Structure 1
């Protein structure tokens, strides 16, 4: 069997993700017939069926599911190798940190200060993105490390939790639910998050977890708008959506037009630091150490129960 080519993997991933040859061809900027031929050639080369095709749908076979997972990893690695080589060849090496603005648990200034004091520290560039983009930025080499909310797709990454804090629901101050001191997820039935998903399913189904992974252009447009914090605030104030925010962000943005309320049966938000599993960078190791040290210092100290001597 000949070695697989990057082009073949890109073609297959596009079809496997779209599950539609026409949309995949449009995404790749090519005509559909050569794309279909390329996938058939790939199947012949591997000696397995990757996709089941009917007149109504395209689905992945078990072999296709395995190749999709591994092809994504391979393409990420190729992209990351090129980017990291370019970064390493820059006159002044830098550490690139991916994060969503304001989603840092209030720790970023202290982490950067602690990091700057370490011998292996490099100048830091912030790679700002939408919710859900940070893990991928580390995998594909755009960033060397990330601060991001768990859970996230951690394949190819190592991570450490930093701080855990409550998620609060942001409502219009005029919403009847805002009159309550606290809520439960069931109280949010019928309300929508900025990506259109149902608020009573919690933030894991919402826009901050799904940005960049859209089924269609309309959903992508909604999530793109929702990635802009002032725009989210305006939409919540108008009562068109509600939104979940970590408590630290709500303290940073008190607004009279909004009400932030705890949701008693909602799992908390956990901020983590993530980096590539294959990283051997002393600068990345120094950043992770700074982040975990600062986070540990912010946690309330547990009192140890005095031990009674037994005679």
Structure 2
């Protein structure tokens, strides 16, 4: 038995389907099923009973899940204690996507550091929501700043709603705001096909009956503005990027109807260090919808 198996057990119990649990863990569903079967064989008990397309935690399984959660919490507390003993000052690690970091650094961090000057804050820069989720799960960060939704094994604290805008090369003949139907056939920079972010955009396009053309598919968000500057395509992203895009000579237009996403601070389902709890208090106290 190992910690990875304990994480698998907890995720399966929380999601109640192997498919959803595997997706939240970023592993293949057959690998998760095999790991659970191996653990059940090692323990000599059945942890999950198959029920339709999902699973049900057995009586023995409920006890194992409870102990697994306690063990994972204990590991986190031991690691936090170790960090405290090797540092003369408190530390707080916050994972953030590039487009949300300016708001974090410009608004929330100054308020926090003014109240808690003895805490050293580290920003863990992540490429998109999946990167933030992975940083939290691997315990490289105590908190994460990202848009919702996130997997069910994380707790989210909504802060604000950010508008999605269209960032385009200059010279395009587009109204302001841009009706959603004008996206039909438009060349866009899009996330990689099959990724969580792409599935969300595809769902949005389907809702409004539009079919943009993928001029470029990439997950590396730091390179997205380059093709737009080169006149290859337009880009859908948060208004938080508008200032950077405008400095690059690009045109930022709102959409009609307006589309917004919830921005939240997220963390694992475990006891947070004091510095992280204090950061949440400051962030939620100064948030605006």
TM-score (norm 1): 0.61
Determine which of 132, 135, 138 is the counterpart of 1:134. 132
The alignment covers a number of residue pairs equal to 249
Deviation larger for 162-171 or 85-94? 85-94
1:5 offset after TM fit, Å? 3.7
1:269 corresponds to 2:279: no
1:250 offset after TM fit, Å? 0.4
Pick closer, same or farther for the CA change 1:165–1:158 going to 2, 3 Å: closer
Matches of residues 299-310 of structure 1 in structure 2 within 5 Å? Answer: none
Quick one: distance in 2 between partners of 1:276 and 1:48? 23
1:264 offset after TM fit, Å? 1.4
Matched with 2:241 is 249
SS at match of 2:226: helix
Matches of residues 90-105 of structure 1 in structure 2 within 5 Å? Answer: 90-92=86-88, 93-104=90-101
SS at match of 1:88: helix
Quick one: distance in 1 between partners of 2:56 and 2:126? 31
Matched with 2:14 is none
Deviation string 1:177-211 (CA, Å, 9 cap, x unpaired) is xx32122333223444432459xxx977259xxxx
Matches of residues 1-311 of structure 1 in structure 2 within 5 Å? Answer: 4-6=1-3, 8=5, 17-19=27-29, 41-42=38-39, 44=41, 45-47=44-46, 62-63=54-55, 80=76, 83-92=79-88, 93-104=90-101, 106-119=103-116, 122-132=119-129, 133-159=131-157, 161-176=158-173, 179-190=174-185, 191-197=187-193, 205-206=200-201, 223-224=218-219, 226-228=220-222, 231-255=223-247, 257-296=249-288
More strand by share: 2
Q: 1:168–1:247: 8 Å Cα contact kept in structure 2?
A: yes
Pick closer, same or farther for the CA change 1:7–1:245 going to 2, 3 Å: closer
Q: 1:84–1:141: 8 Å Cα contact kept in structure 2?
A: no
SS at match of 2:168: strand
Q: Point out the structure with max Rg over C-alpha.
A: 1
Q: Please tell me the root mean square deviation across aligned C-alpha atoms, in Å.
A: 4.3
1:87 offset after TM fit, Å? 2.6
Quick one: distance in 1 between partners of 2:248 and 2:104? 25
Deviation string 1:115-163 (CA, Å, 9 cap, x unpaired) is 122258511111111111224423432212222223333533241x323
Quick one: distance in 2 between partners of 1:40 and 1:154? 23
1:223 offset after TM fit, Å? 4.0
Q: 2:170–2:251: 8 Å Cα contact kept in structure 1?
A: yes
Structure 1 residue runs without a partner (length 5+):
25-34, 52-59, 208-221, 300-311
Q: 1:104–1:148: 8 Å Cα contact kept in structure 2?
A: no
Quick one: distance in 1 between partners of 2:234 and 2:79? 38
Pick closer, same or farther for the CA change 1:275–1:247 going to 2, 3 Å: same
Structure 2 residue runs without a partner (length 5+):
12-17, 203-216
